[in-house]
Amino acid sequence: MAEAALPATLAPILRPRRLRATPAMRRLVSETSVAPRQLILPMFIREGGGADPTPISSMPGVVQHSLESFRVALAEAAAVGIGGVMLFGVPEHKDATGSGATDRDGILNLATRIAVAEVGDALVVQTDLCLDEFTDHGHCGVLDSNGRVDNDATLVRYREMALVQAASGSQLLGLSGMMDGQVAAVREVLDAESFTDTAILAYSAKYASAFYGPFREAVQSTLTGDRRAYQLDAGNGREGVREVLLDIAEGADVVMVKPAMSYLDLVSQVAQISNIPVWAYQVSGEYSMIEAAAELGWIDRRRAIEESLTSIKRAGADAILSYWAVEAAHWFRNTN
């Protein structure tokens, strides 16, 4: 038989639900918001082809831009007030040393000059500094005679890339290759060549992740095998923190944790120890999972996207790279 009333001794004195009772109260006590300025849009720019962008089937809604569609998307990004764009080039030709990366008229450097000219005052124009989009073997560096990624030979290539990207006007170089000593090596050559104002975003705690899967299609990667000999092991939190501390010591301006959602503990730890901004990258697989589940009607797309971004922010990220940056900025603009 059901009891008529709760015994007086069990009636709660502390009632947290008071602060959740009405939309106005919830809005007032909300601890975390994401502002448009804290979102960065990764963009793919394709070399050659016609005026139409090329869809990326594993990332519905994301495209490889033509130069025409790139210009339109840049204007939209600037209009909604996001913080910046991160550019990735998709070259027509790849080779062993990734020579397209250091060609001043290569697609990434060309796209950088366009972005700086069109929106360089409104947005921070950022570039991926890594060889994988440009190498025929798909690795982030050059290979030695045994087929292994040669750390120090790769640093020489990164220094060359850094100078071409800085000269193209990139304001923040995204060092995503996970080579030892890459931040110090790039900082030294930038300073020696008077690019003292070009900032470095270090992809410090970058994990060897299955969640980069759709990105491989996005940049038409030819990688066989994996990146476990340079990217971090999923189980190693302490080692991720070590990488962050090394990059700060080497002169990084911003550090990053990547992917975001499966590594929120890292975002939180790094936010506590870092004295420079901490960003997180909501990667391609995080995007595609939500899009796919939403497409099937299994989750509420907008709520899932907002929740994912809010949780990355709550964990401690100061800014987030997200393929939803522009769409989410429209949503968050009204609530912030």
Residues ≥6 apart with Cβ < 8 Å to 174: 86, 126, 127, 128, 129, 130, 201, 203
Closer residue to ligand PBG in complex, CB, 212/332: 212
206 is catalytic: yes
Amino acid at 256: M
The mark string for 103-132 relative to ligand PBG (x by CB under 6 A, - otherwise) is -------------------------x-x-x
- Compute the least distance from the CB of residue 284 to ligand PBG, in Å: 3
Which of 258, 279, 287, 316 is an active site residue?
A: 258
Question: DSSP states of 31-87 as a string?
Answer: -----GGGEEEEEEEESSS-SSPEE-TTSTT-EEEPHHHHHHHHHHHHHHT-SEEEE
Q: Is 279 in the site for ligand PBG (CB under 6 A)?
A: no
Taking the complex as a whole, the smallest distance from the CB of residue 198 to ligand PBG amounts, in Å, to 18
If the CB atoms of residues 122 and 236 are measured against ligand PBG, the closer one turns out to be 236
Helix (H) or strand (E) holding 29: helix 23-29
Nearest alpha carbon to residue 204 among 274, 287, 153: 274
Q: Which is nearer to ligand PBG, 27 or 93 (CB)?
A: 93
Asked if residue 283 binds ligand PBG (CB under 6 A), the reply is yes
The residues near 104 (Cβ < 8 Å, ≥ 6 apart) are 164, 167, 168
Tokens standing for residue 184: 């110090």
Does position 227 interact with ligand PBG (CB under 6 A)? The reply is yes
Instruction: Single out the residue of 158, 215, 263, 324 in contact with ligand PBG (rule: CB under 6 A).
Output: 215
Interface with ligand PBG, residue 176, by CB under 6 A: yes
Residue 36: asked if its preceding bond is cis (omega within 30°), the reply is: no
Q: Of the residues 46, 65, 157, 206, which is catalytic? A: 206
Closer Cβ to ligand PBG, 59 or 189, answer by number: 59
Residues that bind ligand PBG (CB under 6 A): 128, 130, 132, 140, 176, 212, 215, 227, 283-284
Catalytic residues: 206, 258
